[in-house]
Structure 1
Amino acid sequence: MQALINAGGKGTRMGACGTEKPMQTIGGKPVIKRVVDALSGSASIDEIAVSVSEHTLETEKYLKSIGVRTIRTSGENFMEDLHESFEALDGEFVLTCPSDLPFISTIELDKFISEFDPGKMESMIAIVDKKAFDKLDIKPSYTRDYYGSEWVVSGVSIMDREKTLRGVYLQESFYETDSLDFAVNVNTQEELEQARKIIDRKGCTKA
């Protein structure tokens, strides 16, 4: 399976801080490298590509220096970047992952992938129990109701690439988790500092 990391956004919620969001360091390592490492460790992932844009030129330069494939997109919005990236790929299904998940791990990714049934599913989305955020003292920006409980969309999904490009509405399946690996997105300065504190408490530098 091919994997696509989305790293071409403007990162406006992070604010002006002199460093592109994917290049922010947590535990001494750029967030984008932590995500790449987690995906690289999975035996289910055959190829990794990262979508970049004029908004993330330093990220693009860094990824090329470590031998990671990049796909240049417009950076206008998520769906436009997704379609442009999917056009450059050729797999039937693609795992998509945001570049701002500092705690994503190979172990949890493999659990997620193992639940996907390509014969029965068109897409599968990882959703995180809101209670996991309460434990971390993090307030998610958006929640959705699922069977009477509040869940947060992590941004990790598996999608039928060809149907997406044809504009077909994909039937959604959900992977429910309360794992920290999926729970922390780094979109703001506050979330960045919280992630760094979590790393410090865990005493680890690897994803």
Structure 2
Amino acid sequence: MCGGRGTRLGGEAEKPLREVAGRPMVDRVLDALAASRIEATHAVVSPHATRTRERLAERASGSPSLSVVDAPGNGYVADLRHAMEAVDAGGDPLLTVAADLPLLDAAAVNAVLDAARAADGDSLTVCVPAARKRDLGVSADATTEIDGREVVPAGINVVGGAGDESDAEGDDEGEASADRDAGAVHLTDDARLAVNVNYPSDVRTAERLLTDDGPDRHPTDP
């Protein structure tokens, strides 16, 4: 999902094209997906991110596993529904990923796939404890409560192949809210899934963590 305006980030760059440590976030996410077990990637763009669409169309021209889906730009949920209708997944579940996860890598993507396979049902919502995000120094907007614990959706989920996208509720920045009744919830402390970039301060934190090789970057899930 890479059609957000990125108004909270400021500046002239569209949110997916905002650079973190010298590289646009959308490129970082696409590289993580390409190196993972995901077989095909569909970049969902909107009229709010025309330069992002141009960049992705150029990248897709040289990659048979990447395609561009033009969504109407009516918000995260509406654009997700449009994309799910446009993509023929053959009944298989779909992995949805926001373009604002610059620490994402192939191992983190595969861990989500493994969690979805082990969970009951067709859908999986990935969440991070709000306290973990605050400890890392990143914004913790769109909090919800699960089993008495304050959590934040990570922006990476598995949506059932039957087309049930009801587990995602969000704004045009792609911040999905967890719905416990829509499927399993995977709670993780992994910084690669905890760092969403919504504000300039999040960019600085992401850049610091990208250069941090310490054990805090890839903790064990609770």
Q: TM-score range by the shorter chain?
A: 0.7 to 0.9
Compare relative contact order (CA 8 Å, sep 6+) and give the higher one, 1 or 2: 1
Structure 1 unmatched runs, 5+: 1-5
Displacement after TM superposition at 1:119 (Å): 8.9
Distance 1:34 1:135 in 2: 23
Distance 1:75 1:14 in 2: 19
**1:3 maps to what in 2?**
none
Q: What is the alpha-carbon root mean square deviation over aligned residues?
A: 2.4
Displacement after TM superposition at 1:176 (Å): 1.3
- CA 1:129–1:119 in 2, change beyond 3 Å: closer, same or farther? closer
Structure 2 unmatched runs, 5+: 61-65, 168-178, 215-222
- CA 1:81–1:198 in 2, change beyond 3 Å: closer, same or farther? same
TM-score, reference length from structure 2: 0.79
**1:29 maps to what in 2?**
23
Map Cα deviations across residues 27-54 of structure 1 (whole Å, 9 max, x no partner). 22110010001111112x1100111111
Identity of aligned residues (%): 26
Q: Check whether the contact 2:4–2:16 (CA below 8 A) recurs between aligned residues.
A: no
1:105-184 mapped onto 2 (5 Å cutoff): 105-117=105-117, 120-164=120-164, 171-184=182-195
Displacement after TM superposition at 1:166 (Å): 9.7
Bigger fraction of residues in strand: 1
2:96 match: secondary structure: strand
**1:86 maps to what in 2?**
84
TM-score, reference length from structure 1: 0.85
Structure 1 runs, 4 residues or longer, greater than 4 Å off: 200-203
**1:194 maps to what in 2?**
205
2:164 match: secondary structure: helix
